[in-house]
């Protein structure tokens, strides 16, 4: 009988261990399900946030590209207008028909007959006598001035792009 009682106690102890292991496994499984559900929700929310951020970045990039394209088109239009506006002067410069005047000249200037005559300085006024600059000097100054205008337009376009990019 002693062995039978001992066997009962061992069987009960075995059943208790089995129930304990089963409960531990069942509890760990339910806890893992809770954690995995929470992790899945966090991942879904993070994916939505990333998608919203990507769409916002794409929209900003698209808007920036449109602003830059608009600035570029405006720059090209202004450049074409400048070329058209001064085309007659460019032709005159190329044909040596365009001469600039130096109203503040104090040097001896050739007159129409080819002889030199002294001209007094007009002090920068537009109504005094003036010397015509040589065709080469006039051409060089004209092209320098038009290049300066082109550079100024290009700089303005670059500044507009920088300002548009900062928006």
pLDDT of residue 42: 95
Least confident of 35-39, 149-153, 163-167: 163-167
Domain ranges for the chain: 48-99+134-165
The pLDDT confidence band at residue 55, using thresholds 50, 70 and 90, is very high
Which residues make beta-bridge pairs with 102?
Answer: 131
Residue 109 pLDDT level (bands cut at 50, 70, 90)? low
- For residue 94, give every residue at least 6 positions away whose Cβ sits within 8 Å of its Cβ, in sequence order, or none: 139
């Amino acid at each position: 009988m002693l062995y039978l009682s001992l066997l009962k106690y061992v069987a009960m102890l075995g059943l208790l261990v089995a129930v304990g292991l089963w409960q531990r496994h069942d509890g760990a499984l339910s806890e893992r399900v809770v954690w995995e559900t929470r992790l899945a929700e966090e991942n879904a929310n993070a994916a939505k946030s990333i998608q919203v951020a990507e769409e916002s970045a794409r929209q900003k990039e698209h808007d920036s590209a449109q602003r830059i394209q608009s600035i570029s088109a405006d720059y090209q239009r202004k450049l074409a207008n400048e070329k058209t506006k001064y085309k007659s002067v460019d032709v005159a410069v190329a044909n040596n028909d365009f001469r600039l005047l130096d109203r503040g000249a104090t040097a001896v200037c050739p007159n129409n007959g080819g002889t030199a005559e002294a001209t007094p300085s007009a002090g920068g006024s537009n109504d005094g006598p003036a010397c015509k600059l040589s065709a080469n000097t006039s051409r060089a100054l004209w092209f320098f001035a038009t290049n300066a205008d082109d550079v100024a337009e290009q700089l303005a376009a670059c500044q507009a792009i920088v300002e548009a990019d900062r928006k």
